[in-house]
Amino acid sequence: MEWEIAGKKLKSRLFIGTGKLSTYKVIPEIIKNTSVEVLTVAVRRINPDTKIENIMDFIPENTIIMVNTSGARNADEAVKIAKIGAEISKTKWIKIEIEADTKYLAPDNEETIKATEKLVKDGFFVFPYITPDLVTAKKLEKAGATAVMPLASFIGTNKGITCETLLKPIIQELKIPVIIDAGIGKPSHAAKAMELGAAAVLVNTAIAIANDPVRMAMAMDMAVKAGRIAYEIGILAEKEYAEASSPLTGFLKGKQHDL
């Protein structure tokens, strides 16, 4: 089913990052073989004067581009990068990514809030990438963020949903979409994120460095759809004890005269 975000009606709930692709030539094939409609692109990869592959030459028409401020160390740098990227790519969709920490690449939530406030005032659709924190998420919602993008686990680790306890209240309390980003390494991780009630997931590493990026993108696409359907139907509560799927009680009562 279609859903709406930033004034766009989308069919897909899978967003794909392009930062680690060995070649941009796979992008048209990924778009062709999946329902993906949104790609994130780092500004340094869309320089029209580059002597290497320019990613803009490989993105199919009508694909939505979300500029990523990867490399920014504070709010001012993120705003500057966002505006440069938006001008080159003609997009209003901005993923704020500010990582002052160089070991774990943990998002700087405080600087992210500052950048979000500035870019929202300038008319951008802002998608801030954050360490899962309900208070931060609520501040971003109040600041006018289009969605929030809390990490599932540290970027590039492929560990999946390691902070479910922190993600659940964000999903439950916010009125804006929650897009799970970073750490999604398997299709089962993507399905799990959707089962929790996330509006969408963003996957980069697991697709980009797969032996077959196109087929992995297809697998992630199917997993996202399956997880969303399961969430909409309702996930059954877990139980501590076994419960027979075909109870024998009635059968035994009816056969007591034969015993």
pLDDT surpasses 60 at 65: yes
From the list 83, 92, 95, 225, the catalytic residue is 95
Least confident of 213-217, 222-226, 248-252: 248-252
Least confident of 35-49, 174-188, 243-257: 243-257
Least confident of 29-38, 41-50, 166-175: 41-50
DSSP 37-87: -EEEEEGGG--TT-SS--GGGTSPTTPEEEEE-TTB-SHHHHHHHHHHHHH
Higher pLDDT, 203 or 50: 203
User: What is the model's pTM?
Assistant: 0.88
Percent of the chain at pLDDT above 70? 91
pLDDT number for residue 61? 87
Q: Please, what are the domains in the chain?
A: 3-258 (3.20.20.70)
pLDDT surpasses 90 at 115: yes
pLDDT number for residue 45? 63
- Residue 46: pLDDT band (50, 70, 90) is low
pLDDT number for residue 101? 78
User: What does the pLDDT look like over 185-218, one tens digit per residue?
Assistant: 999 999 999 999 999 999 999 999 999 999 999 9
Q: Residues 63-74, buried b or exposed e (16+ Cβ, 10 A)? A: ebbbbbbbebee
pLDDT number for residue 259? 55
Percent of the chain at pLDDT above 90? 68
Using a CB cutoff of 8 Å and minimum separation of 24, what contacts does 1-8 make?
A: 3/199, 5/146, 5/147, 5/177, 5/199, 5/200, 6/92, 6/93, 6/125, 6/146, 7/125, 8/64
Give me the residue label for tokens 């998002």: 107
- Residue 254: pLDDT band (50, 70, 90) is low
Q: Is 92 a catalytic residue?
A: no
